[in-house]
Structure 1
Protein backbone atom coordinates (compact mmCIF):
# COMPACT_ATOMS: atom_id res chain seq x y z
CA UNK A 1 0.00 0.00 0.00
CA UNK A 2 1.39 3.39 -1.00
CA UNK A 3 1.41 6.24 1.51
CA UNK A 4 -1.41 8.67 0.93
CA UNK A 5 -0.61 11.90 -0.80
CA UNK A 6 -0.98 14.95 1.48
CA UNK A 7 -4.01 17.12 0.80
CA UNK A 8 -3.01 20.32 -0.98
CA UNK A 9 -3.74 23.40 1.09
CA UNK A 10 -4.44 26.58 -0.86
CA UNK A 11 -3.54 29.86 0.84
CA UNK A 12 -4.50 33.28 -0.48
CA UNK A 13 -1.69 35.74 0.24
CA UNK A 14 -2.14 39.50 0.23
CA UNK A 15 -0.54 42.58 1.70
CA UNK A 16 -0.81 46.34 1.82
CA UNK A 17 -4.57 46.62 1.45
CA UNK A 18 -4.46 50.11 3.03
CA UNK A 19 -8.22 50.24 3.64
CA UNK A 20 -10.10 51.61 6.65
CA UNK A 21 -13.00 49.22 6.07
CA UNK A 22 -13.92 46.53 3.55
CA UNK A 23 -15.41 48.34 0.55
CA UNK A 24 -17.94 46.65 -1.77
CA UNK A 25 -15.21 46.44 -4.47
CA UNK A 26 -12.78 44.84 -2.01
CA UNK A 27 -15.38 42.28 -0.92
CA UNK A 28 -16.11 41.33 -4.54
CA UNK A 29 -12.40 41.05 -5.29
CA UNK A 30 -11.60 38.81 -2.34
CA UNK A 31 -14.55 36.54 -3.10
CA UNK A 32 -13.28 36.17 -6.67
CA UNK A 33 -9.60 35.77 -5.80
CA UNK A 34 -9.81 33.59 -2.69
CA UNK A 35 -13.09 31.63 -2.87
CA UNK A 36 -11.26 28.28 -3.13
CA UNK A 37 -8.60 29.05 -0.50
CA UNK A 38 -8.49 27.25 2.84
CA UNK A 39 -6.27 29.86 4.49
CA UNK A 40 -5.70 33.61 4.18
CA UNK A 41 -2.28 35.13 4.89
CA UNK A 42 -2.05 38.93 5.22
CA UNK A 43 1.47 40.40 5.31
CA UNK A 44 0.53 43.66 7.01
CA UNK A 45 -0.66 47.18 6.34
CA UNK A 46 -4.26 46.06 6.47
CA UNK A 47 -4.75 49.38 8.34
CA UNK A 48 -7.93 48.46 10.29
CA UNK A 49 -9.04 45.13 11.87
CA UNK A 50 -12.31 44.98 9.90
CA UNK A 51 -10.31 43.96 6.84
CA UNK A 52 -9.56 40.55 8.39
CA UNK A 53 -13.18 40.05 9.43
CA UNK A 54 -14.09 40.02 5.72
CA UNK A 55 -12.32 36.64 5.42
CA UNK A 56 -14.37 34.84 8.10
CA UNK A 57 -14.67 31.82 8.47
CA UNK A 58 -11.33 31.01 6.78
CA UNK A 59 -8.20 30.38 8.85
CA UNK A 60 -6.27 33.66 8.96
CA UNK A 61 -2.60 34.37 9.65
CA UNK A 62 -1.68 38.06 9.78
CA UNK A 63 0.88 40.54 11.05
CA UNK A 64 0.72 44.28 11.47
CA UNK A 65 2.56 46.72 9.23
CA UNK A 66 3.95 50.21 9.65
CA UNK A 67 0.71 51.87 8.45
CA UNK A 68 -1.66 49.97 10.76
CA UNK A 69 -3.83 51.67 13.35
CA UNK A 70 -2.90 51.15 17.03
CA UNK A 71 -5.86 48.76 17.37
CA UNK A 72 -4.24 46.49 14.77
CA UNK A 73 -0.73 46.81 16.21
CA UNK A 74 -2.11 45.81 19.62
CA UNK A 75 -3.97 42.82 18.16
CA UNK A 76 -1.43 41.43 15.65
CA UNK A 77 2.26 40.56 16.07
CA UNK A 78 5.05 42.12 13.97
CA UNK A 79 6.10 38.63 12.80
CA UNK A 80 4.63 35.15 12.98
CA UNK A 81 5.87 31.59 12.41
CA UNK A 82 3.32 28.87 11.62
CA UNK A 83 2.88 25.65 9.67
CA UNK A 84 0.96 25.12 6.47
CA UNK A 85 0.65 21.39 5.94
CA UNK A 86 4.14 20.06 6.52
CA UNK A 87 5.87 23.38 5.72
CA UNK A 88 7.09 26.10 8.08
CA UNK A 89 6.04 29.62 7.06
CA UNK A 90 7.60 32.85 8.33
CA UNK A 91 5.46 35.99 8.00
CA UNK A 92 6.47 39.63 8.54
CA UNK A 93 5.55 42.94 6.96
CA UNK A 94 9.14 43.94 6.23
CA UNK A 95 9.19 47.56 7.39
CA UNK A 96 12.15 48.63 9.54
CA UNK A 97 14.31 45.71 8.37
CA UNK A 98 16.82 47.76 6.43
CA UNK A 99 17.80 47.83 2.78
CA UNK A 100 18.20 44.06 2.39
CA UNK A 101 14.80 42.90 3.62
CA UNK A 102 15.21 39.29 2.48
CA UNK A 103 18.49 38.75 4.35
CA UNK A 104 16.94 40.24 7.50
CA UNK A 105 13.92 37.95 7.11
CA UNK A 106 16.14 34.93 6.51
CA UNK A 107 17.93 35.70 9.78
CA UNK A 108 14.57 36.14 11.55
CA UNK A 109 13.16 32.84 10.20
CA UNK A 110 16.14 30.48 9.60
CA UNK A 111 13.90 27.38 9.88
CA UNK A 112 11.25 28.58 7.40
CA UNK A 113 10.50 26.79 4.14
CA UNK A 114 8.74 29.95 2.92
CA UNK A 115 9.13 33.57 3.99
CA UNK A 116 6.24 35.91 3.19
CA UNK A 117 6.53 39.68 3.44
CA UNK A 118 4.97 42.87 2.13
CA UNK A 119 5.84 46.58 2.52
CA UNK A 120 7.61 47.16 -0.82
CA UNK A 121 4.43 46.86 -2.94
CA UNK A 122 6.57 44.93 -5.45
CA UNK A 123 5.57 41.31 -6.14
CA UNK A 124 8.34 38.77 -5.57
CA UNK A 125 8.29 34.99 -5.95
CA UNK A 126 11.65 33.21 -6.03
CA UNK A 127 13.75 30.65 -4.21
CA UNK A 128 17.02 31.26 -2.48
CA UNK A 129 18.36 27.78 -1.93
CA UNK A 130 15.47 25.75 -0.53
CA UNK A 131 13.62 28.80 0.85
CA UNK A 132 10.71 30.30 -1.08
CA UNK A 133 10.49 34.10 -0.76
CA UNK A 134 7.05 35.52 -1.48
CA UNK A 135 5.84 39.11 -1.53
CA UNK A 136 2.33 39.33 -3.01
CA UNK A 137 2.74 43.03 -3.82
CA UNK A 138 -0.03 45.46 -2.95
CA UNK A 139 -3.61 44.23 -3.25
CA UNK A 140 -4.74 47.74 -4.17
CA UNK A 141 -3.94 49.22 -7.58
CA UNK A 142 -1.24 51.87 -7.19
CA UNK A 143 -3.13 54.80 -8.64
CA UNK A 144 -4.98 55.98 -11.68
CA UNK A 145 -2.12 55.18 -14.06
CA UNK A 146 -0.25 52.75 -11.83
CA UNK A 147 0.15 49.03 -11.77
CA UNK A 148 -2.84 46.81 -11.00
CA UNK A 149 -3.08 45.22 -7.59
CA UNK A 150 -1.50 41.80 -7.11
CA UNK A 151 -1.83 38.84 -4.77
CA UNK A 152 -0.43 35.33 -4.51
CA UNK A 153 -1.71 31.79 -4.20
CA UNK A 154 0.51 29.53 -2.11
CA UNK A 155 0.02 25.77 -2.54
CA UNK A 156 1.24 23.37 0.14
CA UNK A 157 1.00 19.71 -0.83
CA UNK A 158 3.83 17.35 -1.76
CA UNK A 159 5.78 20.50 -2.56
CA UNK A 160 5.45 24.19 -1.77
CA UNK A 161 4.80 26.50 -4.70
CA UNK A 162 3.38 29.95 -5.31
CA UNK A 163 2.27 32.19 -8.12
CA UNK A 164 1.60 35.92 -8.36
CA UNK A 165 -1.68 37.04 -9.97
CA UNK A 166 -3.27 40.38 -10.83
CA UNK A 167 -6.34 41.44 -8.90
CA UNK A 168 -9.16 41.46 -11.46
CA UNK A 169 -11.19 44.59 -12.07
CA UNK A 170 -14.74 43.63 -11.17
CA UNK A 171 -17.41 46.17 -12.13
Structure 2
Protein backbone atom coordinates (compact mmCIF):
# COMPACT_ATOMS: atom_id res chain seq x y z
CA UNK A 1 0.00 0.00 0.00
CA UNK A 2 1.26 3.46 -0.94
CA UNK A 3 0.38 6.58 1.07
CA UNK A 4 0.76 10.04 -0.46
CA UNK A 5 0.41 13.19 1.64
CA UNK A 6 -1.48 16.03 -0.03
CA UNK A 7 -1.48 19.69 0.97
CA UNK A 8 -2.20 23.04 -0.62
CA UNK A 9 -2.50 26.72 0.15
CA UNK A 10 0.20 26.97 2.80
CA UNK A 11 0.60 30.72 2.11
CA UNK A 12 3.85 31.01 4.06
CA UNK A 13 6.76 33.34 3.31
CA UNK A 14 9.22 30.68 4.49
CA UNK A 15 9.54 27.27 6.10
CA UNK A 16 8.71 27.90 9.76
CA UNK A 17 9.47 25.48 12.58
CA UNK A 18 5.72 25.10 13.25
CA UNK A 19 5.14 24.16 9.61
CA UNK A 20 7.96 21.59 9.77
CA UNK A 21 6.40 20.03 12.89
CA UNK A 22 2.91 19.97 11.38
CA UNK A 23 4.18 18.47 8.11
CA UNK A 24 6.25 15.84 9.93
CA UNK A 25 3.21 14.86 12.02
CA UNK A 26 0.72 14.84 9.12
CA UNK A 27 2.88 12.96 6.63
CA UNK A 28 4.94 10.68 8.90
CA UNK A 29 3.84 7.48 7.15
CA UNK A 30 3.78 8.80 3.58
CA UNK A 31 6.06 7.71 0.78
CA UNK A 32 5.56 10.94 -1.23
CA UNK A 33 3.99 14.39 -0.87
CA UNK A 34 1.95 16.45 -3.32
CA UNK A 35 1.69 20.23 -2.86
CA UNK A 36 -1.14 21.63 -4.99
CA UNK A 37 0.08 25.20 -5.09
CA UNK A 38 0.12 28.50 -3.25
CA UNK A 39 3.25 27.48 -1.42
CA UNK A 40 3.99 31.19 -1.80
CA UNK A 41 7.72 30.47 -1.42
CA UNK A 42 9.87 27.52 -2.55
CA UNK A 43 11.44 27.22 0.91
CA UNK A 44 8.27 25.42 2.03
CA UNK A 45 9.55 22.34 0.21
CA UNK A 46 12.51 22.17 2.64
CA UNK A 47 10.11 20.68 5.20
CA UNK A 48 10.23 17.34 3.36
CA UNK A 49 13.83 16.10 3.40
CA UNK A 50 14.34 12.61 2.00
CA UNK A 51 10.86 12.30 0.50
CA UNK A 52 9.73 12.85 -3.09
CA UNK A 53 7.67 16.04 -3.40
CA UNK A 54 5.57 16.86 -6.47
CA UNK A 55 4.44 20.48 -6.54
CA UNK A 56 2.83 23.05 -8.81
CA UNK A 57 2.64 26.80 -8.40
CA UNK A 58 -0.50 28.69 -7.50
CA UNK A 59 -1.79 32.18 -8.18
CA UNK A 60 -0.30 33.58 -4.94
CA UNK A 61 3.23 32.20 -5.39
CA UNK A 62 6.13 34.60 -5.69
CA UNK A 63 7.97 35.02 -9.01
CA UNK A 64 10.76 32.58 -8.09
CA UNK A 65 8.25 29.85 -7.25
CA UNK A 66 6.16 30.46 -10.37
CA UNK A 67 9.30 30.21 -12.51
CA UNK A 68 10.50 27.01 -10.80
CA UNK A 69 7.26 25.03 -10.67
CA UNK A 70 4.83 24.09 -13.45
CA UNK A 71 1.22 25.26 -13.68
CA UNK A 72 0.09 21.63 -13.80
CA UNK A 73 1.69 18.21 -14.07
CA UNK A 74 0.99 14.51 -13.98
CA UNK A 75 2.70 11.89 -11.85
CA UNK A 76 2.39 8.12 -12.04
CA UNK A 77 2.16 6.05 -8.86
CA UNK A 78 1.88 2.31 -9.42
CA UNK A 79 -0.85 1.95 -12.05
CA UNK A 80 -2.52 5.33 -11.38
CA UNK A 81 -1.87 8.71 -12.98
CA UNK A 82 -2.46 11.72 -10.75
CA UNK A 83 -2.93 15.18 -12.23
CA UNK A 84 -1.93 18.16 -10.10
CA UNK A 85 -3.09 21.75 -10.70
CA UNK A 86 -3.74 24.56 -8.25
CA UNK A 87 -6.85 25.85 -9.99
CA UNK A 88 -7.88 29.46 -10.54
CA UNK A 89 -10.86 31.75 -10.72
CA UNK A 90 -14.26 31.03 -9.26
CA UNK A 91 -15.17 27.87 -7.37
CA UNK A 92 -18.03 27.48 -9.82
CA UNK A 93 -16.95 25.13 -12.58
CA UNK A 94 -13.44 24.47 -11.25
CA UNK A 95 -13.93 20.70 -11.48
CA UNK A 96 -15.02 20.91 -15.14
CA UNK A 97 -12.00 23.08 -15.96
CA UNK A 98 -9.62 20.61 -14.28
CA UNK A 99 -11.20 17.60 -16.01
CA UNK A 100 -10.73 19.33 -19.38
CA UNK A 101 -7.12 20.27 -18.55
CA UNK A 102 -6.20 16.78 -17.32
CA UNK A 103 -8.46 14.42 -19.32
CA UNK A 104 -6.50 11.17 -19.02
CA UNK A 105 -5.84 10.89 -15.28
CA UNK A 106 -7.27 8.69 -12.54
CA UNK A 107 -7.14 11.38 -9.86
CA UNK A 108 -6.90 15.18 -9.83
CA UNK A 109 -5.40 16.98 -6.84
CA UNK A 110 -6.10 20.71 -6.67
CA UNK A 111 -6.34 23.61 -4.23
CA UNK A 112 -7.28 27.30 -4.54
CA UNK A 113 -10.70 27.21 -2.86
CA UNK A 114 -9.39 26.46 0.66
CA UNK A 115 -12.33 24.05 0.98
CA UNK A 116 -11.47 20.40 1.55
CA UNK A 117 -13.42 17.96 -0.60
CA UNK A 118 -13.24 14.64 -2.33
CA UNK A 119 -15.63 13.41 -4.97
CA UNK A 120 -15.73 11.21 -8.02
CA UNK A 121 -16.84 12.49 -11.39
CA UNK A 122 -17.10 9.48 -13.63
CA UNK A 123 -14.02 7.39 -12.97
CA UNK A 124 -11.89 10.34 -11.78
CA UNK A 125 -11.27 11.01 -8.09
CA UNK A 126 -11.02 14.76 -7.39
CA UNK A 127 -9.33 15.79 -4.14
CA UNK A 128 -8.88 19.25 -2.64
CA UNK A 129 -7.03 19.02 0.68
CA UNK A 130 -8.18 22.50 1.74
CA UNK A 131 -5.75 24.97 3.26
CA UNK A 132 -2.94 23.46 5.32
CA UNK A 133 -2.40 26.84 6.96
CA UNK A 134 -6.00 27.04 8.12
CA UNK A 135 -6.68 30.18 6.13
CA UNK A 136 -10.29 29.31 5.53
CA UNK A 137 -13.15 31.56 6.52
CA UNK A 138 -13.83 32.28 10.18
CA UNK A 139 -10.72 30.59 11.54
CA UNK A 140 -11.27 27.23 9.85
CA UNK A 141 -8.69 24.65 10.95
CA UNK A 142 -5.88 23.59 8.66
CA UNK A 143 -6.61 20.48 6.62
CA UNK A 144 -4.74 18.00 4.45
CA UNK A 145 -5.44 14.74 2.64
CA UNK A 146 -3.89 11.31 2.46
CA UNK A 147 -4.19 9.39 -0.81
CA UNK A 148 -3.98 5.64 -0.45
CA UNK A 149 -3.15 3.43 -3.40
CA UNK A 150 -3.69 -0.27 -2.94
CA UNK A 151 -4.92 -3.37 -4.69
CA UNK A 152 -8.51 -2.04 -4.63
CA UNK A 153 -7.71 1.32 -6.21
CA UNK A 154 -7.08 4.87 -5.11
CA UNK A 155 -8.90 6.61 -2.27
CA UNK A 156 -8.58 9.79 -0.24
CA UNK A 157 -9.21 10.86 3.34
CA UNK A 158 -9.34 14.46 4.57
CA UNK A 159 -7.84 15.25 7.99
CA UNK A 160 -7.71 18.31 10.27
CA UNK A 161 -4.36 19.43 11.58
CA UNK A 162 -4.18 18.72 15.29
CA UNK A 163 -3.02 21.34 17.76
CA UNK A 164 0.62 20.67 18.53
CA UNK A 165 2.31 21.53 21.83
TM-score over 0.5 (shorter chain): yes
State how far apart, in whole Å, the 2-side matches of 1:62 and 1:142 are: 19
Runs of 4 or more above 3 Å deviation:
96-99
Structure 1 vs Structure 2 CA RMSD:
1.5
Deviations 1:86-134 (A, max 9, x none): 1010100001477311001001111110011000000011111211000
Structure 1 residue runs without a partner (length 5+): 1-7
Partner of 1:30: 23
Matched, 1:89 2:82: yes
Offset at 1:84? 1.4
Give the alignment of 1:47-62 within 5 angstroms.
Answer: 47-62=40-55
* Residues 114, 136 of structure 2: 8 Å contact kept: no
* TM-score, normalised relative to structure 2: 0.95
- Corresponding residue of 1:166: 160
Q: Does 1:136 align with 2:136?
A: no
Paired residues, what number? 164
* Residue 149 (structure 1) aligns with: 142
Structure 2: distance between partners of 1:84 and 1:97: 30
Instruction: Assess, with a 3 A threshold, how the Cα gap between structure 1 residues 86 and 94 changes in structure 2: closer, same or farther.
Output: same
State the distance in 1 between where 2:150 and 2:52 align: 17
Preserved CA contact (<8 Å) 1:45 1:66: yes
Cα distance, 1:22–1:104 mapped onto 2, change above 3 Å:
same
Ranges in structure 2 where 5+ consecutive residues have no aligned partner: none
- Partner Cα separation in structure 1 for residue 60 and residue 97 of structure 2: 20
State how far apart, in whole Å, the 2-side matches of 1:137 and 1:152 are. 8
